[in-house]
Structure 1
Amino acid sequence: MIQFDFEYYRPQSAQEAVKLFQSLERDGKKPAYFSGGTEHLTLGRLNVIHTNAVIDIKDIPECRTLQFERHHLALGSALTLTEITENGGFPLLSKAAREVADHTARNKITLGGNICGQIFYREAVLPFLLTDSKVLTIGDEGEKRYLIHDVFDQQLRLNKGEILISLLIEERYLHQPFASIKVRQ
């Protein structure tokens, strides 16, 4: 059980979510973005995180992208790890995502949640780092594209209120040979 009350918001677009975040922040609400919810539930039960307002981005169309655009595969941050493994468009990512938690948890854990979370496991980010992928975000300054190496150092470093919209992988990297081995204790 989460030990605190919070307001729940469900914006219809990424721009609306950013504006809502800014408004809630001005009101002193300590807003947090939410997509799969596994981390919020886990850390909320442990009293590690506390927020007064949750902004649910899991159904925002921009965050649900799974398509090719300009020689890149765009994968939305709100796609679940199960959706990514079943799609198979990026086999290295599919293999890495299959190693995260169990199938039931992968139905809830999102790509963005795995990469942006406070929990130190970030298995899904390695394929993007290896393929020099791009990150598409939106914040108070509008949409931005970054090279993942410019914004990821042990965690994704975005500006306050900025949302990870999608990750872009060049088509030439999608079917390269690879090996993936996860070592467990």
Structure 2
Amino acid sequence: MPELGLPAGASVRLTITGRADRDLHRWNVSVLPAAGGPARLTFGSWIGGRDLHQRIDIPAQDVDCRLEIQSRHHNAQGWADDRASPEEDTPDRLLIGFCNPSTRGARPDDVLLSFAFDTRDRQLAKEDADGQGEEENEPEVRKPKQPKARPPAASRSYLEPALRVAAKPSARPKA
């Protein structure tokens, strides 16, 4: 079962796409605290048949978490795990394809889960929040942790927790 690191304050837009000519699959994504404990959120659904495109937004969490990802297909014995394969891995997007390897003509992306990471939800430090001077009556603001440097793309795996996305500079002009 693939797992991804999800830093505190980062939200995820998850898009799930199924191929029209494939059997039904069942996908699940759970959001669990990185330090351990029960799932905070669990998402899942059937994909296939007439329902070939789904989208959910995973809200930002207040602690570092991990995403557990699973896709399964139905067979004579019940449900079996699909084979996972990374399709694309960039700093702000990850695509994981799933397929039933025993199906003739199976493609690695019969079911495709696309994770778009957004770190704009993180609270950034504000200078002089009340306009009375930088040191007077300012709220205590924690600056976000700097993500670890990512290894070169050739050595990076979608299973590594290094998928934490660096915050992008704001495009908004300063007042």
Q: TM-score range by the shorter chain?
A: under 0.3
Which one has a bigger Cα radius of gyration?
Answer: 2
Using structure 2 for the length normalisation, give the TM-score: 0.24
Structure holding more strand per residue: 2
Structure (1/2) with the larger helix percentage: 1
